[in-house]
């Protein structure tokens, strides 16, 4: 089995989760970590046993011997990095959202396709084991025709300061969180069933001093089949990440709850260490989530991308999927302003 050499571009929150996912994937080596900060790059490399770190992005991309580049950088860096990788015909995977808007995503997709190299959209939700199992139940006809999907993705707010800046990220809570819910809905309904139009509401209810973007939002997707997906997004939910899906069909329903239905409940009188993503407290009554990287889908998606590089095939989530999500989000922001249903332009 050929060993796949990886360059991890980024040293922040999502890069940590990608490394956790890769830790359980055979046949690869993360050869180098790039960060905009030399201190962070060195610390990240030391923490994960990566033999090299650098702040020279162009130099890393130009070097030979790297089979896969994983973009785990802030949103404002996605397009420029992806275009540079495409110009060198490099295999690339980008974290969510693919871009800050539809226009950036379109350029990234076009360049990646033209390069002829592999391009993968790292949307964890559709690789989560419980979500994959739900899709298998749908494919087996267990709930009949999918009619309505409800997804919730919420927590108490971004972990890094730059996330609060909508100019850098492309939007607020809807931009940050709805990409998960949108892709889950497309996965449950089937990608051949396109999102025709959307309706959105958003408001800044708590964090006006931190951001100009919305900290709470609702996004409704109307599919060509007539089915509806309802996405609930929040940066003001306390108690850690809340990640749930409901899929209702003509003959049954499926419910997933990764973070509030964990198999462990504990009560501790003093801080007892990490509990779950975005947890506000680490003592008292808590619900620790074992093996987060598995539960969220990081391990499955990283294994899939490594295997696709080795086999020379496109992943089941590509930049085309990321582009479609960005088109839906753009329509959502137009709806948020107009307070009307808005057609999705692709």
Catalogue all structural domains in the chain, each as residue range(s) with its CATH number: 4-124+298-317 (3.40.50.720), 126-291+327-343 (3.30.360.10)
Q: Structure tokens of 110? A: 């076009």
pTM of the full structure: 0.95
Q: Could you give the strand order of the β-sheet that contains 53-54, starting from the edge strand earlier in sequence?
A: 53-54, 28-34, 4-9, 68-71, 92-95, 119-122
SS3 52: coil
Q: Report phi then psi at 151, rounded to 5.
A: -125, 140
pLDDT value of residue 330? 98
Q: At what angle do helices 13-22 and 298-311 cross, to 10 degrees?
A: 70
286-312 burial, b at 16+ Cβ within 10 Å, e below that, comes to bbbbeebbbbbbbbbbbbbbbbbbbee
Show the CA angle centred on residue 124, arms to residues 195 and 38, nearest 5°.
125
pLDDT value of residue 338? 98
Question: Taking the CB of residue 242, how many other CB atoms lie within 10 A of it?
Answer: 19
Within 8 A by CB and 6+ apart from 71, the residues are 9, 10, 77, 78, 81, 82, 85, 92, 93, 94, 95
The DSSP bridge partners found for residue 221 are 198, 229
- What DSSP state is assigned to residue 157? -
The DSSP bridge partners found for residue 33 are 8, 53
pLDDT value of residue 289? 85
pLDDT value of residue 272? 82
Handedness of CA 53, 58, 63, 67 (dihedral sign): positive
CA nearest neighbour of 229 among 203, 198, 192: 198
Tens of each residue's pLDDT in the chain, 346 residues: 789 999 999 999 999 999 999 998 999 999 999 999 999 999 999 999 999 999 999 999 999 999 999 999 999 999 999 999 999 999 999 999 999 999 999 999 999 999 999 999 999 999 999 999 999 999 999 999 999 999 999 999 998 888 999 999 999 999 999 999 999 999 999 999 999 999 999 999 999 999 999 999 999 999 999 999 999 999 999 988 999 999 999 999 999 999 888 888 888 999 888 888 888 888 898 888 888 999 999 999 999 999 999 999 999 999 999 999 999 999 999 999 999 999 999 9
pLDDT value of residue 22? 98
pLDDT value of residue 188? 98
| Burial classification of residue 15, based on how many CB atoms lie within 10 Å of its CB (0-12 exposed, 13-18 middle, 19 or more buried) | buried
Q: State how far the Cα of 198 lies from the Cα of 338, in Å rounded to an integer.
A: 12
pLDDT value of residue 3? 93
Chain Cα centroid distance, residue 233: 14
CB contact at 8 A, 266 and 272:
yes
* Alpha-carbon radius of gyration of the chain: 20
Which residue is listed with tokens 């889950």? 184
CB contact at 8 A, 85 and 116:
no
């Amino acid at each position: 089995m050929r060993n796949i050499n990886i360059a991890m571009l980024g040293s922040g929150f999502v890069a940590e989760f990608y490394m956790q996912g890769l830790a359980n994937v055979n046949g690869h080596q993360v050869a180098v970590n790039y960060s905009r900060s030399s201190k962070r790059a060195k610390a990240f490399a030391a923490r994960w046993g990566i033999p090299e770190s650098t702040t020279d992005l162009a130099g890393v991309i130009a070097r030979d011997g790297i089979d896969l580049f994983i973009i785990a950088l802030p949103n404002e860096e996605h397009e420029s990095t992806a275009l540079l990788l495409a110009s060198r015909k490099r295999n690339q995977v980008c974290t969510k959202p693919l871009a800050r808007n539809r226009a950036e995503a379109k350029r990234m997709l076009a360049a990646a396709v033209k390069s002829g190299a592999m391009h993968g959209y790292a949307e964890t939700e559709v690789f989560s084991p419980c979500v994959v199992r739900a899709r298998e139940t749908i494919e087996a006809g267990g709930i009949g025709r999918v009619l309505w999907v409800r997804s919730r993705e919420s927590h108490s707010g971004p972990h890094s300061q730059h996330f609060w800046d909508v100019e850098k990220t492309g939007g607020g809570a809807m931009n940050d969180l709805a990409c998960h819910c949108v892709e889950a809905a497309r996965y449950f309904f089937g990608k051949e069933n396109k999102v025709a139009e959307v309706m959105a509401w958003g408001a800044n209810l708590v964090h006006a001093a931190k951001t100009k973007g919305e900290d709470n939002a609702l996004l409704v997707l109307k599919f060509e089949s007539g089915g509806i997906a309802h996405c609930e997004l929040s940066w003001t939910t306390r108690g850690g990440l809340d990640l749930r899906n409901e899929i209702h069909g003509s003959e049954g329903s499926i419910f997933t709850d990764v973070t509030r239905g964990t198999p462990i409940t504990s009560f501790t009188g003093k801080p007892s260490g990490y509990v779950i993503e975005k947890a506000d407290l680490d003592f008292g009554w808590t619900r620790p989530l074992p093996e987060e990287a598995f539960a969220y889908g990081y391990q499955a998606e990283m294994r899939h991308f490594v295997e696709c590089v080795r086999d020379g095939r496109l992943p089941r989530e590509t930049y085309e999927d990321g582009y479609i999500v960005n088109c839906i989000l753009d329509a959502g922001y137009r709806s948020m302003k107009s307070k009307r249903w808005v057609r999705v332009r692709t």
